[in-house]
């Protein structure tokens, strides 16, 4: 009888370990829950020094806030149009969303004009963007993207 009990407990223990491992893998892959989400549409034109502009909507605490973006890049050439969705982290107050964001991590093009980038502002707010780009543009590094809430 004890042998039968041990044989039944072993598969159960394996299932529990596998399930907890899958949950840990999911949490590690998806990270913490974002404080807000956003959508951005932007355009850029570049010859040497590039300029980008656009607008977006921030979804935060059940409300939607329009904002505009302006950016600058050096050693850039080309023109493009981008649509992006993003996740916002460390956003404690709406006013912390505004500011100049600099890239802290970039995955570049993932193929088919898709890319991922992470930016952070001086308030500690971090944005991870997943974008789709149309057109051709090459740039060395963004010098900053300014986000301003439209009032």
Quote the CA–CA distance of 40 and 69 in Å, as a whole number: 9
pLDDT digits (tens, 9 = 90+) for 125-151: 999 988 877 765 555 445 678 999 998
69 and 135 assigned to the same domain: yes
81 and 23 assigned to the same domain: no
pLDDT digits (tens, 9 = 90+) for 66-124: 999 988 665 555 677 778 899 999 999 999 999 999 888 765 544 456 778 889 999 99
Name the pLDDT band for 16 (thresholds 50, 70, 90): very low
21 and 95 assigned to the same domain: no
Place of tokens 């980038």: 117
The alpha-helical segments, DSSP class H, found in the chain are 2-30
46 and 59 assigned to the same domain: yes
pTM: 0.69
Tokens of 91: 């956003």
- Determine the structural domain holding residue 107 and report its residue range: 36-149
Domain count, the chain: 2
């Amino acid at each position: 009888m004890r042998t039968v009990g041990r044989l039944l407990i072993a598969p159960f223990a394996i299932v529990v370990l596998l399930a907890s491992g899958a949950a840990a893998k999911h949490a590690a892959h998806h990270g913490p829950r974002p404080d807000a989400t956003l959508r951005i549409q932007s355009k850029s034109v570049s010859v040497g020094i590039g300029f980008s502009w656009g607008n977006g909507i921030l979804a935060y605490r059940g409300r939607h806030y329009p904002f505009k973006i302006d950016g600058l890049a050096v050693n850039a050439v080309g023109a493009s149009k981008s649509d992006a969705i993003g996740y916002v982290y460390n956003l404690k107050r709406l006013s912390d969303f505004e500011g100049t964001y600099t890239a802290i991590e970039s995955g570049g093009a993932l193929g088919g004009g898709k890319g991922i980038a992470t930016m952070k502002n001086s308030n500690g707010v971090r944005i991870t963007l997943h974008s789709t780009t149309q057109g051709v543009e090459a740039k060395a590094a963004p010098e900053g993207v300014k986000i301003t809430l439209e009032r």
